[in-house]
């Protein structure tokens, strides 16, 4: 009998049921006996029962012959005669004729035994086939349960995989969006610092991913372009002082105006820019 197999899904430790085939060999042996059984043939000489009956009739025949010959001798004064021998042989033959009459009965008994043997083999095969069918039915039920369990497990694993994949994709998208927002904030903050010398807050630096050193470098570049660095202002003040010394009163008045107007103006401009830009929302 063909055994239906299924690929074992052993990830959860469950083993696939196996068909034991407890009755297969025994049933095959009985079927072989039925198929290879010879047709009925009767040979009286090979029949043990016929041998027993024959021995009995031979003994009875000899006893009958002896008795008949004894009676014939009594009639002749105790002398044997051809009549006595003939009568004894006839008595013996009559007993053996009775044996021939028993043969049909022995034939029928042998044929009945042959039929009974065939019926017994058929009954045995039917019982074994029934037990085999029950065993195979249990195996099919267990295999069906196993396959349903495996299908359910695969479905649950697929659902878990889909959830994990969706969560991973969502996390990746959030990370991508956050990086895009950070890059945009970095570009915006860079533009603001280059345009105004804005000094960003720590939160603004964190949101853009810009380091304080990078922001300071951009702001320094802006101040240098506007001649607002301390060393540039000191050089301008020294130049103004020198012009005052050699230029007389009117020169002094001009230099004073330059120092009092240019430096405060630059400082106020920087402060106003920083205050305004701190309030900006970085996109």
The CA distances from residue 53 to 60, 68, 79, in Å, are 11, 22, 34
The confidence score (pLDDT) of residue 74 equals 60
Q: What distance in Å separates the CA atoms of residue 73 and residue 81, rounded to the nearest whole number?
A: 7
Structure tokens at 188: 């915006």
What is 82-134 written as a DSSP string?
Answer: HHHHHHHHHHHHHHHHHHHHHHHHHHHHHHHHHHHHHHHHHHHHHHHHHHHHH
9 touches 150 (CB < 8 A): yes
Strand segments (E) across 140-270: none
Averaged pLDDT for residues 34-62:
85
Mean residue pLDDT of the chain comes to: 79
The confidence score (pLDDT) of residue 83 equals 59
Per-residue pLDDT tens over the stretch 166-204: 999 999 999 999 999 999 999 999 999 999 999 999 999
Per-residue pLDDT tens over the stretch 211-245: 999 999 999 999 999 998 999 888 888 888 887 76
Per-residue pLDDT tens over the stretch 76-124: 555 455 656 676 677 777 777 777 888 889 999 999 999 999 999 999 9
Say whether 16 sits in a helix, a strand or coil. Answer: coil
Helices (H) and strands (E) in the chain, counts: 6, 0
198 touches 277 (CB < 8 A): yes
pLDDT of 255 strictly over 50: no
The confidence score (pLDDT) of residue 49 equals 86
Averaged pLDDT for residues 20-30:
95
Within 10 angstroms of residue 42's Cβ, the number of other Cβ atoms is: 16
The residue ranges of every structural domain in the chain are: 19-160, 228-283
**pTM exceeds cut of 0.85:** no
Least trusted range by pLDDT, from 45-59, 100-114, 146-160: 45-59
35 touches 125 (CB < 8 A): no
What is 27-89 written as a DSSP string?
Answer: HHHHHHHHHTPPPP---GGG-HHHHHHHHHHHHHHHHHHHHHHHHHHHHTTT---HHHHHHHH
222 touches 199 (CB < 8 A): no
């Amino acid at each position: 009998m063909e055994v239906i197999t299924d690929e074992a899904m052993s990830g959860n430790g469950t083993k696939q049921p196996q068909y034991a085939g407890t009755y297969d060999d025994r049933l095959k042996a009985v079927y072989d006996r039925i198929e290879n059984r010879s047709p009925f043939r009767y040979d009286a000489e090979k029949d043990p029962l016929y041998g027993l009956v024959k021995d009995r009739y031979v003994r009875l025949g000899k006893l009958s012959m002896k008795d008949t010959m004894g009676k014939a001798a009594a009639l002749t004064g105790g002398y044997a005669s051809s009549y006595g021998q003939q009568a004894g042989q006839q008595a013996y033959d009559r007993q053996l004729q009775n044996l021939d009459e028993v043969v049909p009965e022995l034939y029928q008994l042998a044929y009945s035994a042959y039929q009974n043997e065939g019926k017994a083999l058929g009954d045995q095969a039917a019982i074994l086939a029934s037990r085999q069918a029950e065993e195979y039915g249990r195996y099919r039920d267990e295999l069906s349960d196993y396959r349903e369990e495996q299908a359910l497990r695969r479905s649950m694993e697929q659902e878990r995989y889909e959830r994990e994949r969706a969560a991973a994709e969502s996390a990746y998208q959030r990370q991508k969006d956050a990086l895009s927002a950070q890059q945009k904030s970095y570009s915006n903050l860079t533009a603001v610092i280059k345009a105004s010398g804005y000094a960003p807050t720590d939160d603004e630096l964190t949101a853009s991913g810009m380091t304080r050193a990078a922001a300071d470098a951009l702001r320094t570049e802006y101040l240098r372009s506007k001649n607002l660095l301390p060393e540039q202002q000191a050089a301008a003040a020294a130049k103004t002082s020198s012009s005052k010394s050699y230029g007389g009163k009117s020169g002094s008045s001009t230099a004073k105006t330059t120092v009092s107007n240019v430096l405060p103006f630059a400082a106020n401009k920087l402060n106003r820019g920083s205050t305004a830009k701190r309030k900006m929302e970085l996109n």
